[in-house]
């Protein structure tokens, strides 16, 4: 049994262009090519793709993934171990933050049940939703932060989860497009740029959400910030490292803004 490239792209949450790119660089070859030229993948190929996607999530670039999957003597195991160590460190950091959140909430519950005074300085340990408060207020004013913070706090758990998934999907699609080598002016890149701008305009407090605001300048400036600020650029880092991914996003957003905003 095998599956077409379109079916695999849909199931894996990626694109046909990305799968073709994986084939071009020798990372994932199709199990057969049909008479119409379409690539098809069997179960062994699916297992390999699953490993590729896992290693991508662990932070490996495509050259490093190729080394893991097609190792010289011992080198693949060392690369995979190194990636797992990096991921483990991140998991432990998140574990500590979650434990602090749990302790914070437990202390609040106990205080409420026992009628004790709530210690405000201990209530928000482990919560970091205000980490960019000063920066946002400096860039766009206090109302911008207050509006976005009120919007975030008013969300249900499901709404927050859906919003976070939307952010993750955008990041994944930007990276896949950048790695596939498409032009920032291509239909594929411009469709992602459109989704990105729609996402921005849905966040209260941002210049993009204000009726009559200068959305064009905001979007272009944000693209420049993705390249200049490593904290944001890391969200679009491609396998070769550096700022290539962020530069691709910046260029695509500029093209979209100039043509549509």
Distance between CA 16 and CA 7 in Å, rounded?
9
The answer on 87 and 16 residing in a single domain is: no
Q: Answer yes or no: is 74 within a domain.
A: no
Q: In the predicted model, what is the mean pLDDT of residues 23-35? A: 91
Q: Answer yes or no: is 253 within a domain.
A: yes
Decide if 49 contacts 28 (C-beta within 8 A).
yes
What predicted TM-score, i.e. pTM, was given to this entire model? 0.48
The answer on 256 and 159 residing in a single domain is: yes
Give the residue with greater pLDDT, 238 vs 80.
Answer: 238
Residue 168: its H or E element = helix 157-180
Q: Render pLDDT for 86-107 as a digit per residue (tens, 0 to 9).
A: 656 656 666 666 776 677 677 7
Distance between CA 155 and CA 203 in Å, rounded?
12
Mean pLDDT lowest for which of 8-22, 136-150, 154-168, 245-259? 136-150
| Residue that has been written with the tokens 């962020």 in this structure | 246
Q: Render pLDDT for 104-119 as a digit per residue (tens, 0 to 9).
A: 677 777 777 777 665 5
How many independent structural domains does the chain possess? 3
DSSP string, 94-131: HHHHHHHHHHHHHHHHHHHHHTPPP-GGGTTTT--TTT
Q: Answer yes or no: is 229 within a domain.
A: yes
The answer on 119 and 20 residing in a single domain is: no
The answer on 141 and 34 residing in a single domain is: no
Q: Answer yes or no: is 44 within a domain.
A: yes
- Which is nearest to 12 in space by CA: 66, 61, 48? 48
The answer on 146 and 243 residing in a single domain is: yes
The answer on 232 and 151 residing in a single domain is: yes
The answer on 89 and 17 residing in a single domain is: no
The answer on 138 and 83 residing in a single domain is: no
DSSP string, 171-200: HHHHHHHHHHT--TTSHHHHHHHHHHHHHH
Instruction: Print the domain residue range for 44.
Output: 2-69
The answer on 159 and 247 residing in a single domain is: yes
pLDDT at 2 over 60: yes
């Amino acid at each position: 049994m095998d599956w077409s490239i379109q079916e695999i792209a849909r199931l894996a949450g990626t694109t046909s262009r990305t799968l073709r790119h994986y084939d071009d660089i020798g990372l994932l070859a199709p199990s057969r090519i049909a008479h119409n030229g379409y690539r098809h993948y069997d179960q062994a190929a699916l297992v390999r793709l699953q490993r590729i996607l896992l290693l991508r999530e662990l932070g490996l670039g495509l050259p490093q993934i190729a080394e893991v999957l097609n190792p010289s003597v011992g080198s693949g195991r060392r690369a995979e171990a190194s990636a797992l160590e990096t991921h483990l460190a991140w998991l432990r950091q998140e574990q500590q933050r979650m434990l602090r959140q749990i302790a914070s909430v437990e202390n609040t519950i106990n205080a409420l049940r026992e009628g004790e005074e709530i210690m405000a300085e201990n209530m928000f340990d482990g919560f970091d939703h205000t980490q960019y408060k000063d920066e946002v207020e400096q860039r766009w004013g206090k109302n911008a932060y207050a509006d976005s913070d009120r919007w975030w706090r008013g969300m249900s758990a499901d709404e927050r989860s859906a919003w976070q998934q939307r952010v993750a999907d955008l990041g994944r699609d930007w990276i896949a497009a950048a790695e596939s080598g498409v032009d920032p002016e291509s239909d594929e890149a411009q469709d992602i740029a459109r989704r990105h701008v729609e996402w921005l305009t849905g966040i209260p407090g941002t210049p993009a959400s204000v009726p009559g605001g200068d959305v064009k300048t905001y979007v272009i400036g944000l693209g420049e910030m993705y390249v200049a600020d490593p904290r944001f650029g890391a969200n679009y880092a491609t396998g070769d490292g550096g700022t290539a991914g962020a530069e691709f996003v910046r260029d695509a957003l500029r093209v979209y803004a100039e043509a549509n905003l």
